[in-house]
Structure 1
């Protein structure tokens, strides 16, 4: 068999990505030229996908792999250039290193592509400043495109292109690309786009770019205005801003370390309050003071602003277990609770809560952002304490939380994106809110047990050594170290393993399985919540009418039982009394509750079987007359007054029972009556104790039922009313225990 001629990578890639020159009419040519001119205004990057990073072995030959598509062959060729080996050696390493389960015929091309891509990413990310390299951004994006069509057969199905985004009239809410060049560029660019599955598979292989737990929310944030398809312009902008955020954080660490006196392991995550028009106010009691707020991976620092200089920083610890509470709260001048723009911090180390206010004219985005990142640091330390993680595992958890904060900052600064429910980009905060989030954290804990701190730098071999044993090192710590954030836990590490972070070639890791199960439950919760939002109504009267209709069967049953107890129909009341007494004497009353549950289950199964596939009819409710705002306020005031009266009556009953129980000395005028009442209650409780001790429960229940049911009979009505009147008169004569209200002392205020 003749060997295929070896071709240069540049020419081969141009062949794969070239555009066929078809004959076009003059009008089509004019429109095409106009579109290219508009596209060139926004798309100023170098588009050739064959660009390679500088390498001393760029003269390696490229031999296409028959099983792969042209784009996949292009990615493998560039990966071989990065690794310094030929494509034949890469394929041989894949065939020899990995188990047979990932080399099946249907998945061979995709798994081979993953193997080459992960190897190349592992080496590429070891180089400094790789996020700023346009070749890295283009290569990783092409890896995602190739993952969607890795084989020759799948290449026939063209990857969807980005559709034009059409504004719906409310651009502020419709897109975070509003009034930006990126949005306009998306409308004129016809490049292929990437889907969720490819992004969630390739992006977490570089732990700086994405986390396996939050990668789905990151994709949603990046594609909110492009119909859930990721465009290269958006991806490129995100990576560039992520690189900018990492560099700014590194510079802030160098600038603030001396003033804040940070510990060796502390890294600055963000700083706010440096701009005079956007201050941060610290409220303690009635005093407020402007200053600068800094968040690290261990604490919050507030530096009060003095005369042109910042004073000594006040440290609020987040890493030690001091029962810290961080939550949104209201604040304002002189302690007034007016503006919902503050974060409250409370712990055992502070005498009273501290409020950090983030003033802004509209919304409260600054407050929400600082609340999110502060809670993420706090929850990461709570996670460490909960599972008793050691030094290497602790560093990995904190590094994972820090990378999440950096990604959140990058998306926020690039696209003005702010997290909402189930859409946060922070790992441990998301696990707290997701269904089965505890299972995700437990799976993460199991994966952390295999991490080992390594201090030996291994040379990256020119050829792949399949006999060397893999060494697992903390991937997030290694990622931060590559960006200049040094850690004493891992000084110089090299992870030589097929597993890159939480992603394994051709396999679904346990953490991925836990995340997917949680996302499935999240979809069910969201669908159920949508139905809840649809049936919510406004107004006290309307909600009362809905509840009355829903409880109609129970209300009707209670009305009929009340009618029987009033003995208005003697025959029916007598029949019900005889049947009830017979059931109680026979001991069948114990089967009453199980019978109710059994009957309910039968009704549910009957509806489930005979109404299969039929939609549930809407519950028809007659709405009460509409009321204006004043009438609704009056109704609410009346309801509050009635509720207050019920609470007062309950308190009086409890205070009278307290007086009887403790035999408190009453006023002199009712001393004799009080002592007699106390003795009567005590003797009555002795009698009740004897009854419960010696009489079977069914006879006690029978006597109580007959006495209460026959109280309204014609020949018992007068005597029952007389005894109830005497009981009320006796109860009125019982004094209530005294109550003394003490106002709390005013705390000392800060000058």
Structure 2
């Protein structure tokens, strides 16, 4: 009785001396529950001395959900939890987490829990309590409608409800939701996000239960995740070859379907598999009238089961967010099935992986309806897309495949990968910052960047053509001696060591100083027509290079197959003599002789003979006709007009 009286007096003292004034500002659930605890005969027994007032109220709610007294819940924790979690400095938070996770696990088994406003408030209040768990904690915020929580509390509590977040992408969801509120999450924003999730779940159920694609989906029990192209103002256009058809695009957790639009109905859907191993890939694609590549609003799908790649265009007036969204969710399904095949996951575990994938897509759909100070990155909200981009993302997937509900190794892998990803992001930002517009400007930048290399090449060319005989002779003698003594590997090693030393000295000398900007003289500005002409000239030059390369390959083909016996005989004799020479002469002397042969060709003594020999070689090469080729066109089925 003395202990009960002492506890009651302590609670009343808290109210009297103002310790709970932060609870009395507004009538809210905390205030009401605190009053209820004070008036209840069992309130004193269920008060946990180690916990803060907020944590006590949250644990009391958890005990009601679990239908056990708070003291019994604490006794279960003391019996079941390992000793390391009972350290006095961590006891309050660990017991709070134990109570919250048990309550959330039971609550999420009830159908329609996402619609329950009490569940939403409880989840948020758990985060509030997590930030001030122990009795010695001083609240850093008022527990009212304006109360906010930080990223650590969010990332620790909400992954216990898999549909809200998982440990891999919880940080990104929090950053997106709090971009305009200084990195603190408000309940109104959190509730708006959960409402969006609820709508996404209802949409998933209604689409999957409808008759849409019922015959194709019945065997695998596929769930319809997204449908587009049903509104005439936002069509989906399928490009196959030169044919283009509007229609309806549907994504399930196993495949992608396209139904071409007829006058009043749709054609039988074409299936594009994502679950089977067909070496599929999807990537952004450009489209435009008559085969031009102007509009960046489409994606390309290709697999070994298709003779031609198909292109899906999702036109919109501004930007390409619609295409990016579809590209991200299609890749998420594709990556999930690759993960399942790689680790040979079957049964219930396979269903869990697909469910995590579906949850990720539902989260992205919910975030699309929320305005934020930062644009929504679809890939950053999808687990398998994130693991594909993060440095070390493969280790995260391996951890997922090998763990039995153990979050600690997974959290460690995620934390390490995110740390590395920040460095990659910073590096990419620096790369984006130095990108310039215009072909002429990019060529000017490249010319300046490779100037040291071109200058070195020019000096070597001068030595090769003996424009300065003394220097060429000295260079020839030095390298002849190096090759003869077998020191070439040491010279290469010395060069690499010199580069490493140069980098270290530069780093020490420039420590703390900003990096000097690379200065480039900008060329005269070019208008759009001039730039198009420059592109056309570049394409023409590239075409000429490819043609010349094809001619060389066709002539070599003719020589190797003896299509032209006289030229092939000479070529075969030359190859045979070279083979004998290489077989019986040590490789060091072979390299030495090749070096001397090539480097002294344009020396004063050999220049005239070299020119005659080159002329005879060109005449012989030009006399060889190219092997004949025939271009055959595939017989294409008549395309839909």
Q: Secondary structure at the match of 2:323?
A: helix
After TM superposition, list the pairs within 5 Å mapping 1:266-345 onto structure 2. 266-282=222-238, 290-303=246-259, 313-330=269-286, 339-345=295-301
> How far does residue 71 in structure 1 lie from its aligned partner after superposition?
1.8
1:394 paired with 2:350, answer yes
Deviation readout 1:169-188 (Å, 9 max, x if unpaired): xxxxxxxxxxxxxxxxxxxx
> What is the alpha-carbon distance in structure 1 between the residues aligned to residue 609 and residue 360 of structure 2?
76
- For 2:617, the equivalent position in structure 1 comes to 727
Query: Structure 1: any 5+ residue segments left out of the alignment?
Result: 23-35, 37-45, 53-57, 162-188, 451-500, 504-508, 666-673
The alpha-carbon distance between structure 1 residues 321 and 340, as it changes in their structure 2 partners (threshold 3 A), is same
> What is the alpha-carbon distance in structure 2 between the residues aligned to residue 281 and residue 419 of structure 1?
26
1:370 paired with 2:326, answer yes
Provide the aligned length of Structure 1 versus Structure 2: 631
The correspondence for 1:229, drawn from 181, 184, 187, is 184
Report if aligned partners of 1:369, 1:418 keep a CA contact under 8 Å in 2: no
- For 2:203, the equivalent position in structure 1 comes to 248
Q: Secondary structure at the match of 1:652?
A: helix
1:217 paired with 2:176, answer no
> How far does residue 251 in structure 1 lie from its aligned partner after superposition?
2.6
After TM superposition, list the pairs within 5 Å mapping 1:465-480 onto structure 2. none
Report if aligned partners of 2:400, 2:410 keep a CA contact under 8 Å in 1: yes
1:600 paired with 2:460, answer no
Q: Secondary structure at the match of 1:735?
A: coil
Root-mean-square deviation (Å): 3.6
> How far does residue 95 in structure 1 lie from its aligned partner after superposition?
2.0
> How far does residue 401 in structure 1 lie from its aligned partner after superposition?
1.0
Deviation readout 1:565-590 (Å, 9 max, x if unpaired): 34344433333332222222222123
> How far does residue 423 in structure 1 lie from its aligned partner after superposition?
4.7
> How far does residue 97 in structure 1 lie from its aligned partner after superposition?
1.3
- For 1:621, the equivalent position in structure 2 comes to 520
> How far does residue 716 in structure 1 lie from its aligned partner after superposition?
2.7
- For 2:118, the equivalent position in structure 1 comes to 135
The correspondence for 1:717, drawn from 584, 593, 607, is 607
> What is the alpha-carbon distance in structure 2 between the residues aligned to residue 592 and residue 345 of structure 1?
50
1:410 paired with 2:370, answer no
> What is the alpha-carbon distance in structure 2 between the residues aligned to residue 637 and residue 305 of structure 1?
38
Q: Secondary structure at the match of 1:612?
A: coil
- For 1:168, the equivalent position in structure 2 comes to none
The alpha-carbon distance between structure 1 residues 583 and 134, as it changes in their structure 2 partners (threshold 3 A), is same
TM-score by length of 2: 0.87
The range that moved more, 336-345 or 596-605, is 336-345
- For 1:703, the equivalent position in structure 2 comes to 593
The correspondence for 2:341, drawn from 381, 385, 406, is 385
After TM superposition, list the pairs within 5 Å mapping 1:160-239 onto structure 2. 191-239=146-194
- For 1:656, the equivalent position in structure 2 comes to 555
Deviation readout 1:245-285 (Å, 9 max, x if unpaired): 21232233333368556427332323334445444455555
> How far does residue 626 in structure 1 lie from its aligned partner after superposition?
3.6
- For 2:49, the equivalent position in structure 1 comes to 66
The alpha-carbon distance between structure 1 residues 610 and 331, as it changes in their structure 2 partners (threshold 3 A), is closer
Report if aligned partners of 2:179, 2:372 keep a CA contact under 8 Å in 1: no
- For 1:95, the equivalent position in structure 2 comes to 78
- For 2:36, the equivalent position in structure 1 comes to none
The alpha-carbon distance between structure 1 residues 6 and 89, as it changes in their structure 2 partners (threshold 3 A), is farther
Q: Secondary structure at the match of 1:558?
A: helix
> How far does residue 125 in structure 1 lie from its aligned partner after superposition?
1.9
> What is the alpha-carbon distance in structure 2 between the residues aligned to residue 515 and residue 591 of structure 1?
43
> How far does residue 693 in structure 1 lie from its aligned partner after superposition?
0.8
The alpha-carbon distance between structure 1 residues 636 and 372, as it changes in their structure 2 partners (threshold 3 A), is closer
The alpha-carbon distance between structure 1 residues 632 and 337, as it changes in their structure 2 partners (threshold 3 A), is closer
Q: Secondary structure at the match of 2:256?
A: strand
> What is the alpha-carbon distance in structure 2 between the residues aligned to residue 10 and residue 130 of structure 1?
36
> What is the alpha-carbon distance in structure 2 between the residues aligned to residue 277 and residue 102 of structure 1?
58
Greater per-residue helix proportion:
2
After TM superposition, list the pairs within 5 Å mapping 1:315-714 onto structure 2. 315-330=271-286, 339-347=295-303, 352-415=308-371, 423-447=379-403, 450=404, 503=407, 509-665=408-564, 675=566, 677-714=567-604
Q: Secondary structure at the match of 1:271?
A: strand
Report if aligned partners of 1:412, 1:418 keep a CA contact under 8 Å in 2: no
> What is the alpha-carbon distance in structure 2 between the residues aligned to residue 532 and residue 216 of structure 1?
25
Q: Secondary structure at the match of 1:135?
A: helix
Deviation readout 1:221-259 (Å, 9 max, x if unpaired): 212222322111110111112112212322333333685
The correspondence for 2:69, drawn from 78, 86, 105, is 86
Report if aligned partners of 2:145, 2:187 keep a CA contact under 8 Å in 1: no
> What is the alpha-carbon distance in structure 2 between the residues aligned to residue 617 and residue 79 of structure 1?
60
> How far does residue 434 in structure 1 lie from its aligned partner after superposition?
1.9
- Ranked by relative contact order (alpha carbons within 8 Å, sequence separation 6 or more), the top structure is 1
> How far does residue 211 in structure 1 lie from its aligned partner after superposition?
1.5
> How far does residue 309 in structure 1 lie from its aligned partner after superposition?
5.4
The correspondence for 2:100, drawn from 108, 111, 117, is 117
Query: Structure 2: any 5+ residue segments left out of the alignment?
Result: 34-39
Q: Secondary structure at the match of 1:711?
A: coil
1:48 paired with 2:29, answer yes
The alpha-carbon distance between structure 1 residues 378 and 5, as it changes in their structure 2 partners (threshold 3 A), is same
The alpha-carbon distance between structure 1 residues 349 and 733, as it changes in their structure 2 partners (threshold 3 A), is closer
> What is the alpha-carbon distance in structure 1 between the residues aligned to residue 556 and residue 115 of structure 2?
76
> How far does residue 639 in structure 1 lie from its aligned partner after superposition?
3.3
Q: Secondary structure at the match of 2:202?
A: helix
The range that moved more, 291-300 or 130-139, is 291-300
> What is the alpha-carbon distance in structure 1 between the residues aligned to residue 186 and residue 500 of structure 2?
52
- For 2:89, the equivalent position in structure 1 comes to 106
1:739 paired with 2:638, answer no
Report if aligned partners of 1:331, 1:357 keep a CA contact under 8 Å in 2: yes
The range that moved more, 387-396 or 65-74, is 65-74
> How far does residue 98 in structure 1 lie from its aligned partner after superposition?
0.9
> How far does residue 141 in structure 1 lie from its aligned partner after superposition?
0.9
The alpha-carbon distance between structure 1 residues 302 and 530, as it changes in their structure 2 partners (threshold 3 A), is closer
Deviation readout 1:517-557 (Å, 9 max, x if unpaired): 11111101001111112222233343333333333333333
Deviation readout 1:379-416 (Å, 9 max, x if unpaired): 22222122111211111111111111211112223448
Q: Secondary structure at the match of 2:516?
A: coil
After TM superposition, list the pairs within 5 Å mapping 1:135-154 onto structure 2. 135-154=118-137
Report if aligned partners of 2:247, 2:259 keep a CA contact under 8 Å in 1: yes
TM-score by length of 1: 0.75
Report if aligned partners of 2:301, 2:310 keep a CA contact under 8 Å in 1: yes
Report if aligned partners of 2:234, 2:316 keep a CA contact under 8 Å in 1: yes
